[in-house]
Chains A and B, each alone.
Chain A
Amino acid sequence: MKSIVDFTVKSNKELNSSTILLIVESKEELPRILPGQFVNVKIDNNSVLLRRPISIHDVDYKNRQISLYIKVLGKGTASLKELEVGDIVNILLPLGNSFDISLGKKPLLIGGGCGVAPLLYLAKVLFEDHNIKPTVLIGARSEEDILQVNEYKKYADLLISTEDGSLGEKGYPTNHTVWDNPEFDCIYCCGPEIMMKAIAVKSKEMNIPCEVSLENTMACGIGACLCCVQDTDKGHQCVCTDGPVFNINVLKW
């Protein structure tokens, strides 16, 4: 069941010049949240009309908190950056489907840029609930964009690639040496579409199952407006309700 909840800001930390980690707390018990699901956040700013869909980065049921890892890009996310401890944030959750945990036993999680956001909670659920220690490969432009490293290390073996070589291997996640002798049997991927498409090609070549998480622009987040559609083998499907996670085999990429 989806609900509209007033959360209170517990912390709002700038991770780098364009990324924030927003932790919010609910007065009531959190609903069950699956890895890959997202929230739709109301923006308290008259020049922003629609809610902003944001991946769930982490969940702390005990303290009734969720963490949102947010790239500050436009007016909506800039308003979220201004939030202070104690402020109220109205959030619609939990939305969307989730990653299919049964895809394999040795998963490789690939995140590009801000696309790493949902992978932390996925790694945590794999590790804590399924006794699987996944490999997480994070790709970014440069060292200062590689964030939350210690968080990922709690649940996963962490690999890093940067375009400028300032941390980890130089290059893109698609040409990391993890591909040379693959020890993984499934892939979960979130990041820029161009990266996800390249990963999809590689995984098809290697015959390894692969899911990607999409972020098409949306209005409602609950399957009513039909704005966020993706072309699939079943026709136009809503990223907000049929996704955001899709197996690459259904996508017309």
Chain B
Amino acid sequence: MVNTIVDLNGLKLKNPILTASGTFGYGTEYSDFVDLEKLGGFIVKGTTINHKEGNPYPRMAETASGMLNAVGLQNKGVNYFKSKIYPEIENLDTNIIVNVSGSSIEDYIACSEIVNDLSHIPAIELNISCPNVKEGGMAFGTSAKAAFDVVSQVRKAYGKHLMVKLSPNVTDITEIAKAAEDAGADSVSLVNTFMGMAIDINTQKPLLSTVTGGLSGPCIKPIALRMVWQVAKAVNIPVVGLGGIMNAADAIEFMLAGASAIQVGTANFIDPDITIKILDGIHEYMKEHNIDDINDIVGII
């Protein structure tokens, strides 16, 4: 019997597979395709203290081996999540993690406090890296000082596992990762999307209503992998890797580079059951390479 259980600083996952926020709805959107309890966990879409309508359409453009999105954290607010969504999913035997977003430190704290009271939510992922909102979001994740401030404030308000999601749109991601660690983060996840844009040359207009958006998909994988490797060397807390993971081989690469767990994002849009295929692929890989414990491959590069 092989071991796929990973321990993220006290947060135990039955396997290293999580889903990236904003790509997996509230889990229920995928229940026709995936036995949610087979996943290490899933991260629900970016949740804010108040309802957000998000950005105007068009919000998405396909690019070479990737996609740009500018959804802008559309969600009905944390209280809607608490009263309407949470009761539907709380009894699932998996880790449900809420991605907490905000445009001020007060918002982050208020939202985290509400999630802290939900007994079946063992962790939050603090989103200091959304490139698609005008205020806050990524601004907190692009300077070490701002990251330290927001993480340390939320740390005081939130008692359970605090994962901090980092932006790749920085000169040195290890500085931000270290600031999050110093501020009390239990783990870091990286990377969020890369800021990008695309233009329709016939209309001579941007393809997104917001001009710029966040790039995801297989095109970002080599950069994401490099950043995970750098951060894993720089911090002592677990690293959760994401960015263009499309199959089991990609997931294993991230683990070899230092990720204790991984998140599957854009691939869910193409193959809604991809998480289960990746899990099966990891089992096959372990068998082929005589690996008894998945933790043995983490960070061997």
On A, residues with C-beta under 8 Å from B are 1-4, 42, 47-51, 92, 216-220, 222-231, 235-236
**Would A229 and B74 count as touching, CB distance under 8 A?**
yes
On B, residues with C-beta under 8 Å from A are 22-25, 29-30, 32-33, 45, 53-54, 56-62, 64-67, 69, 71, 74, 217-218, 266, 268-273
- Given the interface pairs A225-B22, A229-B59, A236-B53, the reply to whether A220 lies near B272 with Cβ below 8 Å is yes
Please indicate the chain B residues that have their CB under 8 angstroms from the CB of A50 in the complex: 62, 67, 269-270
Secondary structure type dominating chain A contacts = loop
Shortest B244–chain A CB gap in Å is: 10
- Given the interface pairs A47-B64, A225-B60, the reply to whether A235 lies near B53 with Cβ below 8 Å is yes
Please indicate the chain B residues that have their CB under 8 angstroms from the CB of A220 in the complex: 23, 29, 268-269, 272
Please indicate the chain B residues that have their CB under 8 angstroms from the CB of A4 in the complex: 33, 271-273
- Given the interface pairs A51-B270, A217-B58, the reply to whether A224 lies near B67 with Cβ below 8 Å is no
Please indicate the chain B residues that have their CB under 8 angstroms from the CB of A227 in the complex: 59-60, 69, 71
- Given the interface pairs A49-B270, A225-B22, the reply to whether A236 lies near B30 with Cβ below 8 Å is no
In the complex the two chains form, what is the Cα distance from A3 to B57 in whole Å? Answer: 28
Shortest B101–chain A CB gap in Å is: 14
Please indicate the chain A residues that have their CB under 8 angstroms from the CB of B58 in the complex: 216-217
Please indicate the chain B residues that have their CB under 8 angstroms from the CB of A229 in the complex: 54, 57, 59, 74
Please indicate the chain A residues that have their CB under 8 angstroms from the CB of B64 in the complex: 47
Please indicate the chain A residues that have their CB under 8 angstroms from the CB of B266 in the complex: 49, 219
CB<8 Å pairs between A and B, sample of 13: A42-B271, A49-B62, A92-B272, A216-B57, A219-B266, A220-B268, A220-B272, A224-B24, A225-B22, A225-B69, A226-B45, A227-B60, A231-B56
In the complex the two chains form, what is the Cα distance from A223 to B26 in whole Å? Answer: 10
In the complex the two chains form, what is the Cα distance from A220 to B267 in whole Å? Answer: 10
| Residue among A4, A222, A226 with max Cβ neighbours from chain B (10 Å) | A226
**Would B218 and A226 count as touching, CB distance under 8 A?**
no
In the complex the two chains form, what is the Cα distance from A227 to B57 in whole Å? Answer: 8
In the complex the two chains form, what is the Cα distance from A230 to B29 in whole Å? Answer: 19
Please indicate the chain A residues that have their CB under 8 angstroms from the CB of B65 in the complex: 47, 49
Please indicate the chain B residues that have their CB under 8 angstroms from the CB of A235 in the complex: 53
Shortest B24–chain A CB gap in Å is: 6
**Would B23 and A225 count as touching, CB distance under 8 A?**
yes
**Would B74 and A226 count as touching, CB distance under 8 A?**
yes
Please indicate the chain A residues that have their CB under 8 angstroms from the CB of B268 in the complex: 220, 224
- Given the interface pairs A49-B67, A226-B71, A236-B74, the reply to whether A231 lies near B30 with Cβ below 8 Å is no
- Given the interface pairs A49-B65, A50-B62, the reply to whether A219 lies near B269 with Cβ below 8 Å is yes
Residue of B nearest to A92 (CB): B272
Please indicate the chain B residues that have their CB under 8 angstroms from the CB of A218 in the complex: 60
**Would A236 and B54 count as touching, CB distance under 8 A?**
yes
Residue of B nearest to A219 (CB): B269
Q: 18 extra interchain contacts, Cβ-Cβ under 8 A, other than A49-B66, A49-B270, A225-B23?
A: A2-B32, A3-B32, A42-B270, A42-B271, A50-B67, A50-B269, A51-B270, A92-B272, A217-B58, A218-B60, A220-B269, A222-B29, A223-B29, A224-B23, A224-B29, A227-B59, A229-B57, A231-B57
